[in-house]
Amino acid sequence: MSKEKHENNPGKTPNPVGGELHQISGGEHPMLTTNQGVALSDNQNSLRANPHGPTLLEDFILREKITSFDHERIPERIVHARATGVHGFFELTTSLEQYTTARILTEVGEKTPVFTRISTVAGGAGSVDTPRDVRGFAVKFYTKEGNWDLVGNNIPVFFIQDAIKFPDLVHAVKMEPDRGFPQSATAHDTFWDYISLTPEAMHMVMWIMSDRTLPRSLRMIEGFGVHSFRLINEKGNSTFVKFHWRPKLGLQSTIWDETVKIAGADPDFHRRDMFDAIAMGNYPEWEFAVQLFTQDEAEKFPFDHLDATKLIPEELVPLQVIGRMVLNRWPDNFFAETEQVAYCPGNIVPGIDFSNDPLLQGRLFSYIDTQLSRLGSPNFHQIPINAPKCPFGNHQRDGHMQMSQPKGRVAYEPNSLSENSPRETPAEGFRSAVVSEDGEKGRIRAESFADHYSQARQFYLSQTAYEQAHIASALVFELSKVEHLHVREAMVGHLRHIEEELAKRVAAGLAFNKLPDAPVAAVPVKEMKPSPALQLIGKMKDTLIGRAIGILIADGSDGAVIMNIRKAATNAGAAVKIVAPKVGGAKLADGSMLAVDGQLAGTPSVLFDAVAVILSDEGAQALSRESAAIDFVRDAFGHLKAIAADKGGRALLKSANVGQDAGVVEANDKDAFITVAKTRQWDREKSVRTLA
Instruction: Indicate which residues carry an active-site annotation.
Output: 80, 153
> How far apart are the C-alpha atoms of 264 and 66, rounded to whole Å?
34
> How far apart are the C-alpha atoms of 109 and 52, rounded to whole Å?
68
> How far apart are the C-alpha atoms of 432 and 352, rounded to whole Å?
8
> How far apart are the C-alpha atoms of 482 and 488, rounded to whole Å?
7
Q: Which are the contacts of 66, defined by CB distance < 8 A and separation ≥ 6?
A: none
Q: Respond yes or no on whether the N-terminal peptide bond of residue 604 is cis (omega within 30° of 0).
A: no
What is the biggest distance separating any 2 CA atoms in the chain, rounded to whole angstroms? 91
Residue 123's φ and ψ, nearest 5 degrees, are -80, 160
Q: Using alpha carbons only, how large is the chain's radius of gyration in Å?
A: 29
Is residue 88 within 8 Å of residue 80, measured between CB atoms? Answer: no
CA 289 to chain centre: 19
Burial class (CB in 10 A: 0-12, 13-18, 19+), 585: middle
3-state DSSP assignment of residue 460: helix
Angle 345-346-352 from CA coordinates, rounded to 5°: 95
CB atoms within 10 A of CB 89: 18
Q: How many helices (H) and strands (E) does the chain have?
A: 19, 20
Residue 635's alpha-carbon distances to 292, 321, 677, in angstroms, are 45, 39, 15
**DSSP 8-state code for residue 336:** I
CA 14 to chain centre: 51
Beta strands in 10-82 (DSSP E): 12-14, 20-22
3-state DSSP assignment of residue 214: coil
Q: Which amino acid is at 220?
A: M
Burial class (CB in 10 A: 0-12, 13-18, 19+), 300: exposed
> How far apart are the C-alpha atoms of 176 and 196, rounded to whole Å?
17
Query: What is the CB-side half-sphere exposure of residue 346 using CA atoms within 13 A?
Result: 12
H helices of 292-386, where? 295-298, 334, 358-375
Q: What is the DSSP string of 632-673?
A: HHHHHHHTT-EEEE-HHHHHHHHHTT----TTEEETT-HHHH
